[in-house]
A and B are shown apart, each in its own frame.
Chain A
Amino acid sequence: MKNIRNIHLRFIVLFSLGIAVFTSCERDFSDDVQFATFSSNGDIFTDAPVGLTDEFFDSFDPNEGANPEGFGTDDNVAFEGSSSIRIDVPAPDDPDGGFIGGIFLDRGAGRDLTGFDALTFYVKGSTTATIGEVGFGTDFGQNKFAVTAQNIRLSTDWRKVIIPIPDPSKLVQERGMFFFSAGTQTTNGFGFTFWIDELRFEKLGTVAQPSPAILNGMDVVQQAFTGSNLIVNGLTQTFNLDTGVNQTVIAAPSYFNFSSSDIEVARVSELGEVSVVGEGTAEITALLGGVLADGSLEVTSAGSLAFAPPPARPAANVKSIFSEAYTPDTNSNFAPGFGGSTTETSITNNNGDFVLAYTNNNFTGIVFENTVDASGLTFLHVDVYVQSAGVEVGIQIRDIGGNQELETNTDNGLPQGDDVDFRFDLTGFTVGQWTSFEVPLGGDLATQKNNLGALILTGGPNFLFDNIYFYTE
């Protein structure tokens, strides 16, 4: 609906201009007539803000730690002219807030940025720190065309920064002129200052060789079921600049045109949300500005997935890791990214019940953020679903000991230091059904299970998990 309205507006604008041109020799419009054109002025801050709202700087929410006090202008420092924007990055324990960030909004209905190819500015720092994020398109509304560049290195002299626009043709009416967020991660918690000057959208003509990507350029293979909802993330656009630097920005989904190779299997929205609707295989790809993005999502759906058997044990007897039935005892990292791991892990929504889907597993793990004290518990429960015969999954229940560190011999995979584990093979599956396993906390865990820190998973390679919890009968 939104799109249609925009197109309609643009048509009116074009049509109105046409009238103006063709009738100008006959009579003028009265002063009351206002055309719905959007400013194509690229300037944001030169020696003063240009066409911005009265607030000029619209801070992130102070309730979430943003410091609204560190923003101002500086008449003693300028790259050009007489004034610059001055940003004082606070220390993490600053009572006014531990980081600084926010946006500049266009004063009017938005600007037409289709004639530009980059946001540019000059920046210098009081020290050689790094600004976490800068960009544009964030308007504290839909953020529809948000763009973020990360880790902008400061010099103690002025340096020009170029943030390419992923696809300028999309920006017919943009209010989010500037966005930044900075903390002291690179200065060991010491506050610093940086100045920004000559902030504007520019047509450089040297922003070239677009190389967009989805899923960070990876070809991801994913198991799914009818009713699964997946999201295509890792959306970036990379341009080669005149300096030879390849500048990557994180681009909002609305810059991309997503498509599915088989809409009877999977459909993808304009925001990159994938809905699995049938059985089969579909490939999700995307275009940005007419260029095919690197990376794809191959979704294989086996049709409907039955729910795992609902857990029935009393919550008092359970310490849960992953289940809708219980409050988790700890948060966990379900994709720890162990070196050498080929595993793709996703948490898939199966009609409201989340399941863990493992694809192409050689080894991975579930790493608990806080250790689980299983002194009073005797079993691990897990429900497993497989789609093909011959699948075997190894599970290693790891106690990481008093030092709270996961310590593994990288040669043989055995626990070392004060770690111990118990290993168990999940086998005997029936294809297309959930199988429930009750794994005893046996072996070395019989005498050391008060610091359970991880489950290591080997083999498969493709399987689903649900309802992972420790319990006592």
Chain B
Amino acid sequence: MKYMQIKTIQSVALTCLGVIAMSVISGCETDETQTVATFTNLVLDENFDNDGAPNDQVWGFDIGNGIDGWGNQELQYYTDRPENVTIQNGVLLITAQQESFQGSEYTSARLLTKDKFEQRYGRFEARIRLPFGQGIWPAFWMLGADIDENPWPGAGEIDIMEYRGQNPTVLIGSVHGPGYNGGDAISKEYTLENDRFDTGFHIFGIEWGPDFVNFYVDDVLYNQITPEDVNEETDGEGVWVFNKPFYILMNLAVGGTFVGSPNAETEFPQTMIVDYVRVYKNNAD
């Protein structure tokens, strides 16, 4: 969610990688070059079955507009009002509204599991239908649980899903840590072919082990980031910090440096619809 630079990746290369990844997954579970995780122990199964506010045993909220718009000059004021976050008909609705509220022009919500659900390693995934439009910025992501003692970027950040509403076919997955953060995060885009992220549900996930983070969407594994990648990208300066518990965040931001401001054509309200969030753990960990 922090400043970042998105590298230009040839779509051909992406497609090829997608195809390779798929063949790996469907062909067998591992090969010589890639670690593929098998996580079977379901430890968080959040299906948003009860109408109303989300379960406060699992989900907390960030409220307000943060410092400098949560570090990104975001325009929304986060609340926990039903207008911005509620469960209806078995799905979680995170809704960005255009309204004057506490000095901001927009309201929305950010949920987080800090101090409620934190875990090292595993498979983290959510099934989400994304909103659309210029300046709309939903995210499903994680921060290192020691962030209060070990400030960002030292705590580490894994962005399982980020997306710009003006690019409704493009998903972005990233990691941030010391020596590779903000504009220099290690990041990759995935372009959905002949489909969009705002017209149906898609599963966004990571499989995370001691020395890898695999990024996938639906049945496509589209990236793997390892300590070696961090080394290469940062000329040995970067530190692998993905070896401790992280917590989950889900939010729908409006505006900010990553997406730019909404324009006259951006329709409000915009809603990010979350069908479920699931976390699996490797029995060995």
Question: Which residue numbers of A lie inside 8 Å of B, CB to CB?
Answer: 203-206, 208-209, 211, 240, 242, 244, 246
**Contact pick for A244, options B167, B194, B267, CB 8 Å:** B167
Q: In the complex the two chains form, is B195's CB within 8 Å of A244's CB?
A: no
Q: Kindly state the separation between the CA atoms of A206 and B196 in the bound complex, as whole angstroms.
A: 6
**Contact pick for A206, options B165, B169, B267, CB 8 Å:** B169
Q: Mark B164-175, 1 if CB is under 8 A from A, else 0.
A: 111111000000
Which residues of chain B have C-beta atoms less than 8 A from A206's C-beta? 168-169, 194-196
Query: How many inter-chain residue pairs (CB < 8 Å) link A and B?
Result: 34
Q: Kindly state the separation between the CA atoms of A298 and B165 in the bound complex, as whole angstroms.
A: 35
Determine which residue in B166, B196, B267 has the highest number of CB atoms from chain A within 10 A of its CB, and name it: B196
Which residues of chain A have C-beta atoms less than 8 A from B198's C-beta? 208-209
Q: In the complex the two chains form, is B168's CB within 8 Å of A240's CB?
A: yes
Q: Closest Cβ of chain A: how far from B254's Cβ, in Å?
A: 15
14 residue pairs bridging A and B, Cβ less than 8 Å apart: A203-B194, A205-B193, A205-B196, A206-B196, A208-B132, A208-B168, A209-B198, A242-B196, A244-B134, A244-B164, A244-B165, A244-B166, A244-B167, A244-B168
Q: Which residue of B lies closest to A205 (CB)?
A: B194
Q: Kindly state the separation between the CA atoms of A233 and B129 in the bound complex, as whole angstroms.
A: 35
Residue B199 lies at the interface, judged by CB distance under 8 Å to chain A:
yes
Q: Kindly state the separation between the CA atoms of A208 and B265 in the bound complex, as whole angstroms.
A: 15
Q: Which residue of B lies closest to A238 (CB)?
A: B265
Q: Mark B181-203, 1 if CB is under 8 A from A, else 0.
A: 00000000000011110110000
Q: Kindly state the separation between the CA atoms of A204 and B165 in the bound complex, as whole angstroms.
A: 18
Kindly identify, within residues 226 to 285 of chain B, every residue whose CB is under 8 Å from any CB belonging to chain A.
265, 267
What size tier do the contact residues of chain B reach?
A: 10 to 19
Q: Mark B85-120, 1 if CB is under 8 A from A, else 0.
A: 000000000000000000000000000000000000
**Contact pick for B199, options A208, A211, A244, A246, CB 8 Å:** A208
Which residues of chain A have C-beta atoms less than 8 A from B169's C-beta? 206, 242
Q: In the complex the two chains form, is B195's CB within 8 Å of A205's CB?
A: yes
Q: In the complex the two chains form, is B265's CB within 8 Å of A242's CB?
A: no
Could you list 20 further interchain pairs (A-B, Cβ under 8 angstroms) beyond the known A206-B194, A246-B265?
A203-B194, A205-B193, A205-B195, A205-B196, A206-B168, A206-B169, A208-B168, A208-B196, A208-B199, A209-B198, A209-B199, A211-B267, A240-B132, A240-B133, A242-B167, A242-B196, A244-B164, A244-B165, A244-B167, A244-B168
Q: Closest Cβ of chain A: how far from B171's Cβ, in Å?
A: 13
Which residues of chain B have C-beta atoms less than 8 A from A204's C-beta? 194
- Cβ-closest 4 pairs across A and B: A205-B194, A244-B166, A208-B199, A242-B169
Q: Closest Cβ of chain A: how far from B209's Cβ, in Å?
A: 34
Q: Kindly state the separation between the CA atoms of A393 and B76 in the bound complex, as whole angstroms.
A: 48
Q: Closest Cβ of chain A: how far from B240's Cβ, in Å?
A: 35
Q: Kindly state the separation between the CA atoms of A172 and B195 in the bound complex, as whole angstroms.
A: 24
Q: Kindly state the separation between the CA atoms of A204 and B192 in the bound complex, as whole angstroms.
A: 11
Which residues of chain A have C-beta atoms less than 8 A from B267's C-beta? 211
Which residues of chain B have C-beta atoms less than 8 A from A244's C-beta? 134, 164-168
Q: Kindly state the separation between the CA atoms of A209 and B134 in the bound complex, as whole angstroms.
A: 13
Which residues of chain A have C-beta atoms less than 8 A from B165's C-beta? 244
Q: Kindly state the separation between the CA atoms of A208 and B164 in the bound complex, as whole angstroms.
A: 16
Q: Kindly state the separation between the CA atoms of A242 and B198 in the bound complex, as whole angstroms.
A: 11
Q: Kindly state the separation between the CA atoms of A439 and B248 in the bound complex, as whole angstroms.
A: 77
Which residues of chain B have C-beta atoms less than 8 A from A211's C-beta? 267
Known: A242-B168, A242-B169, A242-B196. A209 touches B132 (CB 8 A): yes
Q: Closest Cβ of chain B: how far from A256's Cβ, in Å?
A: 21
Q: Which residue of B lies closest to A202 (CB)?
A: B194
Kindly identify, within residues 57 to 82 of chain B, every residue whose CB is under 8 Å from any CB belonging to chain A.
none
Kindly identify, within residues 5 to 58 of chain B, every residue whose CB is under 8 Å from any CB belonging to chain A.
none
Q: Closest Cβ of chain A: how far from B138's Cβ, in Å?
A: 15
Q: Kindly state the separation between the CA atoms of A246 and B196 in the bound complex, as whole angstroms.
A: 15
Q: Closest Cβ of chain B: how far from A248's Cβ, in Å?
A: 10
Which residues of chain B have C-beta atoms less than 8 A from A240's C-beta? 132-133, 168
Q: Closest Cβ of chain A: how far from B206's Cβ, in Å?
A: 25
